[in-house]
């Protein structure tokens, strides 16, 4: 039995090593040296027209990696009877797919059939952060595009209502730690949330309380003003923090003040270890940026089952 366990462990370690080594910042150095610049230009152009693009790209990448690994499956359109990931309930509000399309078109003109859609999305997420005033980093590349995309599998995405145990399980299943959970949650510094994502905290919280008592009272009142109990405004909601177009540590500062939107954000304060990390990053943007780079590289290295480079990011060949 011991020999069997050792063999299994060695096999696992070799498999993990292979996955890590499969990605490299220099993957396109010979085949498409201008890949990074082409994607950056596409993101810059889109941002000049729409300030919501960075948040959209960062969220898109996260949702891609958490379902089937980082294989670009979130980019595929539904076809025939197959409802794709982008049409699953948690992804209905995803947008800015055209940014990836534009980058892919430019790359196909320069380096036909070389750069995968999964890599384009990973590069675009990096650019979204860097161009919003956050850190930049060398993106390991070499991901392949997957052919399978099913809306039903978006159930695997962590929900905004998750508690700390559910979050631990969701991230742990993908090889991500509680530290990664806290750091990647900080990506909420960019973006906007619709009322439906935090309605549970401001209306009928439980049988005793109408509003989540962990919410700052004046903050809760402002949220109820934007999102009444029977809200009829389709795109009503609130920004995730007070500097929604800047990548910074304001998210953690607001969380410490009881001004977070999601139950899953508040959940970070219900564990001693995660609460300490929230406090750490609330007090140092520099520490947060360093940690974010490490956790993003780790998350974006979750290998999917892709085995091709799509010529069109919205459909398989």
pLDDT at 317: 73
Class of domain 164-298: mainly alpha
pLDDT category, 18, cuts 50, 70, 90?
A: very low
Active site positions, annotated: 63
180 labelled binding-site residue: no
Q: Write out pLDDT tens, residues 127-147.
A: 999 999 999 999 999 999 999
**What does 17-70 look like in DSSP terms, one character per residue?**
HHHHHH-BTTTTTTT-TTHHHHHHHHHHHHHHH-TTHHHHHHHHHHHHHTTTSS
**Averaged pLDDT, 11-37:** 73
71 labelled binding-site residue: yes
142 labelled binding-site residue: no
Q: Would you say residue 21 has pLDDT above 90?
A: no
Q: Which residues pair with 193 in a beta bridge?
A: 238
Domains 34-156 and 164-298 share a fold: no
73 labelled binding-site residue: yes
Return the domain boundaries, the chain.
34-156, 164-298
DSSP secondary structure letter of residue 308? B
Strand spans (E) along 171-254: 192-194, 237-239
243 labelled binding-site residue: no
Percent of the chain with pLDDT over 90: 86
Percent of the chain with pLDDT over 70: 93
Query: How far is it, in rounded angstroms, from Cα 176 to Cα 302?
Result: 9
Architecture of domain 34-156: Orthogonal Bundle (1.10)
Mean pLDDT of the chain: 92
85 labelled binding-site residue: yes
Q: Write out pLDDT tens, residues 182-208.
A: 999 999 999 899 999 999 999 999 989
């Amino acid at each position: 039995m011991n020999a069997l366990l050792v063999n299994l462990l060695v096999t696992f370690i070799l498999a993990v090593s292979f996955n890590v080594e499969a990605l490299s910042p220099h993957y396109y150095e010979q085949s498409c040296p201008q890949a990074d610049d082409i994607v950056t230009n596409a993101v810059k152009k889109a941002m000049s027209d729409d300030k919501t693009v960075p948040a959209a790209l960062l969220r898109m990448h996260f949702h891609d990696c958490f379902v089937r690994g980082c294989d670009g499956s979130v980019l595929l359109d539904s076809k025939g009877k197959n409802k794709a990931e982008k049409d699953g309930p948690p992804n209905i509000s995803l947008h800015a797919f055209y940014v990836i399309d534009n980058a892919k078109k430019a790359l196909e003109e320069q380096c036909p059939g070389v750069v995968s859609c999964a890599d384009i999305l990973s590069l675009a997420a990096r650019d979204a952060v860097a161009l919003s005033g956050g850190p930049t980093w060398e993106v390991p590349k070499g991901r392949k595009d997957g052919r399978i995309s099913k809306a039903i599998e978006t159930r695997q995405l962590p929900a905004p209502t998750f508690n700390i145990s559910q979050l631990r399980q969701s991230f742990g299943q993908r090889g991500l730690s509680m530290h990664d959970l806290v750091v990647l949650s900080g990506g909420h510094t960019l973006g906007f949330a619709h009322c439906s994502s935090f309605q549970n905290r401001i209306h009928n919280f439980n049988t005793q309380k109408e509003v989540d008592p962990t919410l700052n009272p004046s903050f809760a009142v402002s949220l109820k003003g934007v999102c009444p109990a029977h809200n009829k405004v389709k795109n009503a909601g609130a920004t995730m923090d007070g500097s929604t177009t800047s990548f910074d540590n304001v998210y953690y500062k607001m969380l410490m003040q009881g001004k977070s939107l999601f139950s899953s954000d508040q959940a970070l304060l219900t564990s001693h270890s995660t609460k300490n990390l929230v406090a750490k990053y609330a007090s140092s943007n520099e520490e947060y940026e360093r940690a974010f780079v490490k956790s993003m590289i780790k998350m974006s290295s979750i290998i999917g089952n892709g085995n091709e480079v799509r010529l069109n990011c919205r459909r398989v060949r």
